[in-house]
Structure 1
Amino acid sequence: MRGEGRYRVTGGGVILAALLSVTGSAAANTTDPMEKLLRDFYQRVAPVYGAPQPAGQPTTQPDAPPHLPDAAPALRTVPADPGRLARPASTGASRVPDGTVLLLTVRIDRDRLVEPLMVVTEGNGFRVDLGSFVQAFEFPILVDAGQGRAEGWFISPDNDFRLDLGAGTVTSRGQTRALRAGEVVRSDGALMIGDWVLKEWFGLEATPNLADLELRIEADELLPFQQRQRREQRFTQRQSYSTPRATLPPAPEGRPLVGPPVVDLLASSRLTGGDNQETRVGGNYAATVGAGLLGGAFAAYLSGDENEPLSSARANLSYYDPDGLAGLGLVTQARFGDISGFATTLLAPSASGQGVYLSNLPVGAQLRSDATTISGDALPGYDVELYRDEQLVGFQRVGENGQYIFENVELFAGENRFRIVRYGPQGQIEEETRTVTAGGEIGGVPLTYQFAASMIDDGPDEGALQSSLATRLAVGGGVAVLASAGTTEYRGERVSDALLGGQYRVGTFLMEGLAGRDTLGRTLGRAAVQTRIGTDSLRFSHEVRPESLRPELGNRRRTEIALSGYVQGPVLGLPYLRYTVGAEDVSDSVVEEARSLTGKLGTQIGRFTLNNDLLWTQSKERPTEFRAGREGTDLNVVHQASFPLGQLRNRFRLGYRAAPDFEMTEFQANSLWLIERDFTAEMDVRHRFETDLTRVQARLNYDMGSVVLSPRLSYDNNGVYGAFLDLRLSTGIEPMTGNVRMQSRPAANDGSIAVQVFLDENENGVFDPGEEQLEGVEVQALQARRSALTDSTGIAILRNVQPFETSDVRIIPSTLPETHLQPGVEGYSARLLPGGTQNMILPVVRSWTVEGRALSTTAQGEAVPLPGIDVVVMDRDSGEVVASTTTLGDGSYSITGLRQGSYRISLSAESLGSRLAPAYARPLLTDVRETTYHAVDLLAVEPGAPAHYPPLRRASGPGPLMLPLGASASDIRTPEPEASRQVIAVRVGQYRSRLALVMGWSELVERTGPLLAGLVPVLSPSEEARLLADRTSLFPLRLGPLVNRDAAELLCDLLRQIGRSCVPALVDWQEDRIAEHPPAALKAASATR
């Protein structure tokens, strides 16, 4: 336990023995005030607290008998439960007595209730008021204590609850039974229930820790306040879409030269056969590897089977830094090796093969404004859907090469938001978003470029060099100059081209044109105009370029116009409509002339999400040596729907040709049954009408957390069957810990962040031997929407962090184990590459709180609160203001988050004006054993007037500083004896145990010396009674009596200068004790103020 009551045992016994020897050797008639103070404490108070006595010494002195009551007043106890025989009787000083009222901090997992729960001890447990309990846990249960009834539900409406004392029954979750003896008792108009019934009634396992005043709750379901917190977190995450970019500085730890690798593996064994083929046994695998290498990201893809162990292999090394690699803005991204999927020219297709790609554009950006290429890696068997602005524009199944590529995807004016949804064959659903701005940002960087050079990887010209360079130069006023050059080899002949053009952009209107020729004398070019008005986008383009497949035909041309938009509902009873309509005219090597109309329509009906595609084509095919040209009109329609149905997640796809004759083309149905969170079943049916082939596949998926096992069976109408066992996992070495991890979710294309959290005792920002590693602290990467809890070594691993995106990584302060702890640094930002890692060290430091009031005094000496006045905390050495706040309406203030140091606290002269001036500043030295310094009151006086504090006044009712945590309900209502009156004292500590108090007192005397001479411990009669009867869980230590408040405030200043907490207070004290120890004025007037 940190804070008050936590002291080093080393040396404590020596100090205690020395002090006891002082008391034992002191003469009875000693006149030394310090010895008198020590003797008074150990002869009068220490026996009450259980302090040891010197050998041979009586517990009391004949000439100074302690004034203690003969017997403690009786407590009103709650009736014990006769049915709980396992509870021991209330004996022994080590246990809190029955009937003690405690305020317990309630913790559920890593969450904590805002307000403490008041309970009454009984045996080793407690009783709690049912009404207070359901209110604290936010259960909608109405409690009528007068009628002895309660009715409602808890956690969810299915969990009904009823209690009827008259009938002697209790109902929970539909089960009614008779009440057992002692489960519910009436006390002071409340229904008190025993803690042992919480498990059976509400499904809550309660474990009290009375020593630390904590109650730990274990629940099978999230409680209402936890559900609310999760909703708030999700709302915050959704809101984070619109939050600014990450602003924290990069982590001082750079990328490692060689990072730990991560491997996503698919291994499949199979048994296949059929009516016309023999039975075969085999297997195949596919692996994606990601790792940090030489400050970049290494990625590789490998696959093979029993016949060809390495049938496919791709690898690349990529670098990215938006500020420019090596600190230069010339290159922001570079990729070496496989560069498939990069659009590198203003006209030509995407680059492919082994080579190099360089650009100073952000990742995902391009110079071409009318179309883009969306590509990525995924394990074979994944289905990939591509959505633009929530409208389905493409669908693919990942093949054996482990890659999906959507080429020539249309772009509209402004930002095009693409969503890539990957459906794993074992029920996985992974989403990724990319934003491509048509035409980029003119003027952001004056000169932008894309360059690629690679070896052609297939076809008759395999191994030949191809390269391209595209540039854009912004010249101002929304105008830019475009230029492109490229070279390739076609059927053994080198062909090069060059284009030149311009671009004009204002707002969402974009216009550009390009024209050029190649080395064969052919003309090529493109013109495009597009704009966006609200949610609607309009685009027109015309393109001419050489025909590559049949050069004798000359150029291929394409003219297209399209309109895309969104209509907010209701429209025909539908909540919204997303649409795209377009017309196209094409002439190329396949068709002599083709005109088409397209339409895409997306909406939602209930829980059904619908996407519909329509394509009308009128074409005239070119004849070939194998067949005559065909001329005709076609109308093709595709419907796709997805919807949940109970535990089923369903997707259907239906395609047909409506003209010239109706003909079905394809059908696909997929249904996923969520049996359990980690156990699913899947059925997939596909039929191609052109080949009359139907294939049915059934699969079970068991996610074990570290691996997914999937047995599946398949059969088609040709008699071909197969039995498969698939295994999917992701494995790698965790950063910082070096542990080997396995998980079922693919991670090779994502990044990982390892964060170490520890209590930085010396605040040097470095983890030193002996410093505490903090467990259970939440670390969050906000923009990446990832969070994790630290383990027993203080390390949290944030996995599956999306690459290329910069995210701020912070500690969530509310998850720190104690409220006076705070992050030592705000955090750092991280930007990961695919497969990359980042290590961070986030220290936690102690913080302190100072609170009090701003006051002035009237001529009669009455206190006047000062609202709206600035309070400043200054560094004692430099005088620099390190914190400030403004007083509230009652003159109170509270300043939190102070770091370790020495300070002076004062009112701001500017905010007081000319009528008042701040009195002396209050000194403060932070100490690790304190967390909050209370009652640091600040005084304002008329200029030149002496500073005197107004008299102390006791607040009405038991305030938080007046009521010991161990007080019983009857103590609160019991007045002090008449033979007592109020005296001024200072509270210098509150302790959790007698031993902690005695050792704390010893340490205080050692540090303060004669400062406390003439003062004695001051306890009220009721406090002494509770001490004698061992009916308290908090041990206060007050010293006094003092002659006035000024003396008390001066003493507090002196104590705070050495880090001690000190609170002036009025205490009821016995008349004879006051006569024995008259109030003293503090003589240390030389204290620095």
Structure 2
Amino acid sequence: MIDSYRTALSLEQSLSNDISLQSGYTSYQFRDGVRHSFVPFTVNYYFPFAKINLGVVKDLDAGSSVEFSSKSRFSKHSFDLNYKKLDEDFTTDSHLANNVKNSMGIRLSGPLYNTEGLAFTYSSNGGTSTTYNDVKTQAINAYLGMFTNEYSLSNTLSYTDISILNSPNIEVFNGNSQFTKNFDSMRWRTQIGYDIKPDVELTNASTSLFWSMSESLSSEFGLHYNKAATRASYILNWDTDYTVVSANVSVDDNSQYQAFLSLRFSFGQDPTTGNIKIARDRMATTGGISARVFEDLNLDGIYNNNEPLIEGAKLVGIHARRDTHTKESGVAFLTGLPKNRITDVKLDVDSLDNPFWIPVDKGFSFLPRPGAIESLDIPVVTAGEIEGVVTVIRSGKELPGRFITLQILDDENKVVQETDSEYDGFYLFSAVIPGKYNVVIAPAYLKQNNLMVNNTHQATIFGDGTVVRGIDFTLSNDEITHATVREKVPIINGQQISLNLGKFASTINKQLTLGLLKRRFNELKMLSIIEAPDNQLILGPTILTPATKRLCQRIVTKGLSCEITPFSNNQ
């Protein structure tokens, strides 16, 4: 026969991106048999690096309490502050004789040292409280933990000083140590609790072995000791995408047996599809995200009905260490994200079927709210590639441009990607999002190595896996200026000119030479052949610039002639 029950309801409504209201209802029976019902009301303020809560809880059968709390973050460290004030007839159970009048606490935590295989973290907190019968309590706690890839070790020390009117103070000093070791699919954990003051003694100890039998099935065997009894327990968990079923049995040395079966699940509406979703996580007290992944065919970043939805894409909650995959609808429903803690979410590129697919955005950051499911679209496009060869001219000789830094810039001249050429001068930009880009040699590299570049290039990546080839660069230093370029008459920059590359034995010889030159010098592809007698090879017209002179100088270093002459319409 059920002689007692508990009812709990939690609601939260966002007013804006920075403010939300929270309320609910809780009803349960105190140990003295009297039922009490509580109605909380809280205002939550969210700032970039902090959260502030101001709330009141009303006992419909007695008094009320007021609470203020704040959680803030500085770099990688967290600072929490809370204050409570309670009416004399407000309590949460009848066995709590010393009703708290007010309390205040602070907490500071964060990392001390962090490398790839070793980390140290700390936490310290302190607080004070006063009851209506003048009992004052001061407490300090300190935690230090060490973590490696295979094991962890932690210790907590707690000191409490209790001051009672007309009585001597009571001091309690105790600690708790824990050791955890991982073995592939198993985890062994041992914990001991001890008193230092008033007497040194062992108060409790436990050891347990957890075994992950499969992706959905796990078990845990444990032994637990305290001053009252020694107990053995066994837990079997069946974990699916929709629910968690747990069976627990235990027995102690006082012949006390326990056995129970629990079923946990939650449900809510997916804001993207409108469907009701069932999940194993507590959706009312944690946050979630509904992400639709699609192929953005028209490159506008917005989902259109004719654009394919992508199934099987993996969505990863980085800080929460959770992941899920998109269904046939292209939607991934990720729940159980820690509330009020900024979480990074990204699409796992390796999970996409097409190796040229990439998301337009590398990832997203958002603040999960209790019971709230955020929705977003993740457009995926077909990336392209840009490749070419870098050549350096030194002392009149062409050499491979080894390990030279190149960049691609967007239309705002922001660096989108950066890479270095290989030992043979070849370079490659891969996974380039569709768009128009300028391909350049990094200015800092040119300045540091006293080099000049002969040209700049533009490249357009379409959403069809475009591969742009032949974006070649020729770099030179001041030595090239020693090559002689003939000018028939003095010419100034900005004047229209033509390039006379000399006489050839035949028309065929002239055409073959021009073809070879155009393969070596891209700038010549933009110039036309000007008809001239005696198989002269004259190209133009073009505008005289320093780059034009350097082009002519580079042609001369190949053993050919290059004469700059004024252009006239009679040519």
TM-score by length of 1: 0.35
Deviation at 1:912, TM superposition (A): 5.0
Q: 2:232 aligns with which of 669, 674, 686?
A: 669
Asked if 1:866 is matched to 2:401, the reply is yes
2:43/2:54 contact within 8 Å kept:
yes
Distance 1:544 1:599 in 2: 19
Q: 1:893 aligns with which of 415, 420, 427?
A: 427
Asked if 1:919 is matched to 2:484, the reply is no
In structure 1, what is the equivalent of residue 532 of structure 2?
none
In structure 2, what is the equivalent of residue 613 of structure 1?
194
In structure 1, what is the equivalent of residue 469 of structure 2?
934
2:28/2:37 contact within 8 Å kept:
no
Q: Are the structure 2 counterparts of residues 919 and 788 from structure 1 closer, same or farther at C-alpha, using a change threshold of 3 Å?
A: same
Distance 2:525 2:15 in 1: 58
Aligned length: 457
Distance 2:105 2:209 in 1: 48
Higher relative strand content: 2
Identical amino acids, percent of aligned pairs: 16
CA deviation digits over 1:40-75, x for unaligned, max 9? xxxxxxxxxxxxxxxxxxxxxxxxxxxxxxxxxxxx
2:25/2:40 contact within 8 Å kept:
no
Q: Partner amino acid for 2:351? A: T
Q: Partner amino acid for 1:737? A: T
CA deviation digits over 1:138-191, x for unaligned, max 9? xxxxxxxxxxxxxxxxxxxxxxxxxxxxxxxxxxxxxxxxxxxxxxxxxxxxxx
Deviation at 1:452, TM superposition (A): 5.8
Deviation at 1:644, TM superposition (A): 1.4
In structure 2, what is the equivalent of residue 682 of structure 1?
248
In structure 2, what is the equivalent of residue 323 of structure 1?
47
Deviation at 1:364, TM superposition (A): 11
Distance 1:450 1:674 in 2: 39
1:874/1:882 contact within 8 Å kept:
yes
In structure 2, what is the equivalent of residue 641 of structure 1?
206
Q: What secondary structure does 2:311 align onto? A: coil
Deviation at 1:805, TM superposition (A): 0.5
Distance 2:408 2:11 in 1: 51
Q: 1:548 aligns with which of 127, 132, 135?
A: 132
Q: Are the structure 2 counterparts of residues 314 and 563 from structure 1 closer, same or farther at C-alpha, using a change threshold of 3 Å?
A: closer
Distance 2:484 2:356 in 1: 36
Distance 2:395 2:171 in 1: 95
Q: Partner amino acid for 1:332? A: I
In structure 2, what is the equivalent of residue 696 of structure 1?
257
1:453/1:468 contact within 8 Å kept:
yes
2:288/2:333 contact within 8 Å kept:
yes
Long gaps (5+) in structure 1: 1-279, 341-351, 366-414, 418-434, 441-448, 461-465, 473-504, 506-533, 550-554, 569-574, 618-633, 657-664, 689-693, 700-709, 711-725, 948-1040, 1056-1081
CA deviation digits over 1:496-529, x for unaligned, max 9? xxxxxxxxx9xxxxxxxxxxxxxxxxxxxxxxxx
CA deviation digits over 1:816-841, x for unaligned, max 9? 44343333234332112221222223
Distance 2:321 2:422 in 1: 37
Asked if 1:334 is matched to 2:54, the reply is yes
Deviation at 1:923, TM superposition (A): 4.4
Distance 1:539 1:800 in 2: 27
Distance 2:363 2:11 in 1: 26
Q: Partner amino acid for 2:47? A: D
Q: Are the structure 2 counterparts of residues 676 and 1053 from structure 1 closer, same or farther at C-alpha, using a change threshold of 3 Å?
A: farther
Deviation at 1:815, TM superposition (A): 3.2
Distance 1:288 1:820 in 2: 48
CA deviation digits over 1:429-479, x for unaligned, max 9? xxxxxx666xx6xxxxxxxx957687954699xxxxx9979899xxxxxxx
In structure 2, what is the equivalent of residue 46 of structure 1?
none
1:643/1:650 contact within 8 Å kept:
yes
Q: Partner amino acid for 1:670? A: S
Asked if 1:1044 is matched to 2:515, the reply is yes
Asked if 1:300 is matched to 2:9, the reply is no
Q: Are the structure 2 counterparts of residues 828 and 601 from structure 1 closer, same or farther at C-alpha, using a change threshold of 3 Å?
A: closer
Deviation at 1:685, TM superposition (A): 3.0
Q: Are the structure 2 counterparts of residues 687 and 681 from structure 1 closer, same or farther at C-alpha, using a change threshold of 3 Å?
A: same
Q: Are the structure 2 counterparts of residues 733 and 636 from structure 1 closer, same or farther at C-alpha, using a change threshold of 3 Å?
A: same
Higher relative helix content: 1
Alignment of 1:77-226 (within 5 A): none
Alignment of 1:540-579 (within 5 A): 548-549=132-133, 556=135, 578=155
Distance 1:312 1:613 in 2: 36
Alignment of 1:648-797 (within 5 A): 649-656=220-227, 665-673=228-236, 681-685=247-251, 695-699=256-260, 710=261, 727-797=263-333
Q: Partner amino acid for 1:613? A: Y
Alignment of 1:56-67 (within 5 A): none
CA deviation digits over 1:729-783, x for unaligned, max 9? 2122223222212233433211111222223334333223322323322223322
2:136/2:163 contact within 8 Å kept:
yes
Distance 1:536 1:845 in 2: 44
Distance 2:145 2:287 in 1: 38
Distance 2:450 2:249 in 1: 84
Deviation at 1:865, TM superposition (A): 0.8
Deviation at 1:671, TM superposition (A): 2.1
Distance 2:435 2:238 in 1: 58
Distance 2:378 2:521 in 1: 40
Q: Are the structure 2 counterparts of residues 599 and 1053 from structure 1 closer, same or farther at C-alpha, using a change threshold of 3 Å?
A: farther
Q: What secondary structure does 1:814 align onto? A: helix
Q: Quick check: which has more Rg, 1 or 2? A: 1
Deviation at 1:804, TM superposition (A): 1.0
Deviation at 1:579, TM superposition (A): 6.5
Q: Partner amino acid for 2:193? A: N
Distance 1:932 1:356 in 2: 64
1:596/1:615 contact within 8 Å kept:
no
Q: Partner amino acid for 1:891? A: G
Q: Are the structure 2 counterparts of residues 751 and 313 from structure 1 closer, same or farther at C-alpha, using a change threshold of 3 Å?
A: farther
Q: What secondary structure does 1:890 align onto? A: coil
Say what the alpha-carbon RMSD is for the aligned residues: 5.6
Q: What secondary structure does 2:329 align onto? A: coil
Q: Partner amino acid for 2:207? A: S
Distance 1:774 1:807 in 2: 23
Q: Partner amino acid for 1:684? A: S
CA deviation digits over 1:106-165, x for unaligned, max 9? xxxxxxxxxxxxxxxxxxxxxxxxxxxxxxxxxxxxxxxxxxxxxxxxxxxxxxxxxxxx
CA deviation digits over 1:294-327, x for unaligned, max 9? 452545355689xxxx9665444544344289xx
Q: What secondary structure does 1:1044 align onto? A: helix
Deviation at 1:889, TM superposition (A): 2.7
Q: What secondary structure does 1:362 align onto? A: strand
1:536/1:563 contact within 8 Å kept:
no
1:750/1:802 contact within 8 Å kept:
yes
Distance 1:539 1:788 in 2: 36
CA deviation digits over 1:216-273, x for unaligned, max 9? xxxxxxxxxxxxxxxxxxxxxxxxxxxxxxxxxxxxxxxxxxxxxxxxxxxxxxxxxx
1:638/1:653 contact within 8 Å kept:
no
Long gaps (5+) in structure 2: 95-99, 109-119, 147-151, 182-187, 214-218, 486-511, 527-536, 549-571
1:922/1:1053 contact within 8 Å kept:
no
Q: Are the structure 2 counterparts of residues 594 and 815 from structure 1 closer, same or farther at C-alpha, using a change threshold of 3 Å?
A: same
Q: Are the structure 2 counterparts of residues 469 and 841 from structure 1 closer, same or farther at C-alpha, using a change threshold of 3 Å?
A: same
Q: What secondary structure does 2:350 align onto? A: helix
Q: Are the structure 2 counterparts of residues 284 and 587 from structure 1 closer, same or farther at C-alpha, using a change threshold of 3 Å?
A: closer
2:406/2:441 contact within 8 Å kept:
yes
In structure 1, what is the equivalent of residue 391 of structure 2?
855
Distance 2:539 2:465 in 1: 24
Higher relative contact order (CA closer than 8 Å, sequence separation 6+): 1
Q: Partner amino acid for 2:257? A: V
Distance 2:202 2:209 in 1: 24
